[in-house]
Homo-oligomer: A and B are copies of this chain.
Amino acid sequence: MTGSRMTEKTAGIRDVAAHAGVSQTTVSHVLNATPHTRVSEDTAARVRAAAEELGYRPNRFARGLRTHASDMIGLVTEEIATTPHAGRIILGAQEEASRRNLTLAIINSELNPDPEVDSAQVQAFLDRQADGIIYATVYHDEIVAPENLRSRPAVLIGARDASGSIPAVMPDERAGAAAVVEMLVAKGHRRIGFAASVEDVPATRGRLLGYQQAMQAAGLPNDDLVAFGSADARGGYAATLELLDREPTAVFCYNDRMAMGAYRAAGERGLVIPADLSVVGFDDQAPIPDSLFPTLTTVTLPHYEMGAWAVSTLASLLHGKDEEALLAAHPTVLACPLLERESVAPPRSAALL
């Protein structure tokens, strides 16, 4: 088994050159399509044929040694494990990297409030010759990026750098929440409760703000329609129970887990969703929305898109497109689309009209 692997001496550029009857220089020019270099189509064809025939694969080490480029970018993610959405960030980054012929390497970092500690992970990528680094965090408005992140092109996902000098991307939580309220209002709801999270993170603030602004814009009072709970099913259950005493026709939950609690609360009160009560979540956290009865209308986060954005932005930076300062000045904000499923209907009162 192992034996069959040992002796496969792979062809080098020298072999290709010999086989095509040209110099290594020419082979290199043809295969890399070096700009400002003319090679006769005839010669080029011979080179390509030889490379093909010999199964030539350029040695990355040798190339890197000359060009100082690895075509590898490093992704440092806070807590791959515990954040349910990291997978989609990774997927977006990975697929965009493949499209651009870049290798994506990943390192997990512990969740911690002070990202300066993460410089070890960044260093690991610097040591490994990563061309650029993506630093993905969850739940931070602003972070102090590890100092060594500045020694290579870098972009941030999910947080803005305190110094404002690193391009960053984040979801537009506020607009996503506002869109939910607008949709509910359009369906005729006026008493729309919000089951808010007690956590003090950007998502909490952004979603609450979006709710409040949209309610105000619609001329709807909402002071008594916000209840707080922990950001899980139990918290959603408790907050919804509290809200239900104030007779809302719809409950918008901070996230899908809280929405699970809202379903439970509605069930206990004998309320049928969506006939008696509309419920909306946020996060589109698999497998919740499709597993609920009825399926949950919710808002999806642009994790895939943020991952892809990070890679393509980094790629531009690597190619010297000097938009870095521009990009860094204002974080890029990506939309959170509303996903309508079955948990929303017009309120009973509207049906009476």
Q: Write the residues of chain A forming the contact surface with B, with a CB cutoff of 8 angstroms.
A: 1-2, 4-5, 8, 57-65, 70-72, 80-81, 84, 86-88, 90-91, 94-95, 98, 103-108, 124, 126-129, 150-153, 165, 232-233, 237, 257, 260-261, 264, 267, 285-288, 290-293, 304, 322, 324-325, 328
Contacts and interface: CB of A to CB of B under 8 A. Distances in A.
A65 B59 contact: yes
Given A2-B324, A98-B107, A105-B104, A80 B87 contact: yes
Contacts of A90: 80, 87, 90, 106
- Copies of this chain, count: 2
A165 B5 CA distance: 13
A170 to B, nearest CB: 20
Contact of A91 (B4, B81, B103): B81
A8 B151 contact: yes
Given A1-B325, A60-B128, A60-B129, 17 more contacts: A4-B150, A57-B126, A59-B65, A59-B129, A60-B61, A61-B62, A65-B65, A80-B94, A81-B88, A81-B91, A94-B106, A94-B107, A98-B108, A103-B124, A104-B107, A105-B105, A261-B293
A238 B91 CA distance: 34
Contact of A95 (B108, B233, B293, B324): B108
A166 B80 CA distance: 28
Contacts of A105: 72, 103-106
Contacts of A103: 105, 124, 128
B94 A108 contact: yes
